[in-house]
């Protein structure tokens, strides 16, 4: 535990009590004190006396000591006040109350971070999860959203736990923690009826707040709602998948929800060998690479306009018959008639599979 936490507390007592007070650790080193020059001093000779004392507040070596809570035979930290009189005893007791509160808050906060990290990393047994949740006063059955915020530019320094937590300052309902150099996870308490759209709005707020000079610096992945603490690991993995799949199929999006990944989620989980076999079976006549850029552009526009000939022709600024001619040409090359729904679906999936393999460095 950092001595800085204690130092902030003891300094507040400087004008309230007429004596110097401070804190020593289990080795007798002064880690906080109203008299700054004492910090770092070693009082090893006093440790045994404090450990062996039968009373909670004891005078020793011209000072009065009181071990902080958590002491079981050997103290971790002890507060001290100069002098061995009643005033020193009272000052020591008062300071111990405040320092115990700070110690409990710090340890509980730290333990919660470790606890949540173990849950989302799937590194805790279910029986232990219930025990630790009870100890840390964490509700088990509660709707929570999991947002994975990943830095896009390694030089961007604005993605920190503090930056994310400041967007949602209520630490009772929103909890941010670091998961590596490039990732911050936000776990947020949700209401009963929360839609995917509501989660996307929260993610959008995060992404927009962390922009730098109007440029997107992070991508936010959203998992499904976790209705129980044990579901946080599943939701976290889904948020990871959302970012990875989005990186392949939705490169222009900076907010990606697992629930909206569609068929891309399925393709991403297929073995690459199976994907290669699929492309070979679909394009028996000619490989997909035989289609030039203009033809692929036409195909994509046709899909964007829901296979409607007239609307696609209008968007391409060509005559309807010209578009029909192009589609006939595609049919001859590939054996697939994109005007037929089943063939269009097959071709659309094939394009996505091709894109997925390319992202893995595989040319098919």
Cβ atoms of residues 218 and 207 within 8 Å = yes
Q: What does the pLDDT read at residue 2?
A: 58
What's the pLDDT tens digit per position in 303-357? Answer: 989 999 999 999 999 999 999 999 999 999 889 999 999 999 999 999 999 999 9
pLDDT for 238 equals 96
Q: Are 283 and 291 in contact (CB under 8 A)?
A: no
Gap between the Cα atoms of 108 and 64, Å rounded: 28
The reported pLDDT for the residue numbered 188 is 95
How many Cβ atoms sit within 10 Å of the Cβ of residue 285? Answer: 12
- The interaxial angle of helices 341-359 and 293-304, nearest 10 deg, is 120
pLDDT digits (tens, 9 = 90+) for 173-214: 898 999 988 999 999 999 888 888 999 999 999 999 999 988
CB-based contact 358:273 (threshold 8 Å)? no
| pLDDT surpassing 80 at residue 158 | yes
Q: What is the pLDDT of residue 108?
A: 64
**Among the ranges given (4-13, 240-249, 260-269, 302-311), the one the predictor scored with the smallest mean pLDDT:** 4-13
DSSP 304: H
pTM of the predicted protein model: 0.67
Cα 71 to Cα 301: distance, rounded to the nearest angstrom: 71
Mean pLDDT of the chain: 89
- According to the model, what pLDDT value does residue 109 have? 66
Tell whether the model's pLDDT for residue 131 goes beyond 70: yes
Query: Residue 73's pLDDT is what?
Result: 55
- At 107 the pLDDT is 67
pLDDT tens digit string along 52-105?
887 888 999 899 999 886 654 567 789 999 999 998 999 998 898 888 888 777
The pLDDT tens digits for 253-269 are: 999 999 999 899 999 98
CB 193 within 8 A of CB 148: no
Residues in Cβ contact with 351 at an 8 Å cutoff, skipping those fewer than 6 apart: 288, 299, 300
Residue 5 is predicted with a pLDDT of 78
Q: Comparing 23 with 180, which gets the higher pLDDT?
A: 23
For residues 156-179, b (16+ Cβ closer than 10 Å) or e, as one string? eeebebebbbeebeeeeebbbbeb
Q: Is the pLDDT at 364 greater than 70, yes or no?
A: no
CA–CA dist 330, 308 (Å, integer): 16
Q: What is the CA radius of gyration of the chain?
A: 31
Banded model confidence at residue 245, pLDDT cuts 50, 70, 90: very high
């Amino acid at each position: 535990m950092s001595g800085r936490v204690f130092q902030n507390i003891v300094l507040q007592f400087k004008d309230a009590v007429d004596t110097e007070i401070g804190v020593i650790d289990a080795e007798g080193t002064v880690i906080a004190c109203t008299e700054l020059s004492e910090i770092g001093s070693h009082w090893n000779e006093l440790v045994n006396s404090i450990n062996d004392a039968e009373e909670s507040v004891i005078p020793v070596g011209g000072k009065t000591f009181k071990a902080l809570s958590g002491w079981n035979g050997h103290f971790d930290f002890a507060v001290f006040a100069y002098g061995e009189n009643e005033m020193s005893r009272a000052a020591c007791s008062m300071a111990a109350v405040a320092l115990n509160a700070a110690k409990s808050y710090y340890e509980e906060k730290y333990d919660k971070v470790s606890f949540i990290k173990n849950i989302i990393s799937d590194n805790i047994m279910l029986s232990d999860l219930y025990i630790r949740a009870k100890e840390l006063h964490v509700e088990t059955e509660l709707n929570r959203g999991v947002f994975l915020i990943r830095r896009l530019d390694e030089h961007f320094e604005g993605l920190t736990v503090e930056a994310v937590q400041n967007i949602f300052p209520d630490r009772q309902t929103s909890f941010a923690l670091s998961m590596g150099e490039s990732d911050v996870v936000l776990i947020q308490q949700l209401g009963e009826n929360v839609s995917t759209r509501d989660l996307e709005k929260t993610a959008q707020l995060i992404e927009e707040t962390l922009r730098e000079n109007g440029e997107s610096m992070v991508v936010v992945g959203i998992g499904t709602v976790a209705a129980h603490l044990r579901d946080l690991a599943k939701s976290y993995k889904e948020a990871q998948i959302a970012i990875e799949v989005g990186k392949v199929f939705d490169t222009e999006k900076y907010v990606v929800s697992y629930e909206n990944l569609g068929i891309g989620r399925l393709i991403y989980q297929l073995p690459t060998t199976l994907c290669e076999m699929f492309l070979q079976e679909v394009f028996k006549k000619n490989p997909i690479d035989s289609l030039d850029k203009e033809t692929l552009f036409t195909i994509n526009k046709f899909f964007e306009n829901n296979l409607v000939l007239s609307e696609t022709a209008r968007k391409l600024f060509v005559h309807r018959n010209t578009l029909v001619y192009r589609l006939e040409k595609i049919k001859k090359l590939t054996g697939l008639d994109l005007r037929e729904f089943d063939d269009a679906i097959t071709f659309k999936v094939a394009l996505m599979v091709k894109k997925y393999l390319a992202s893995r460095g595989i040319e098919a």
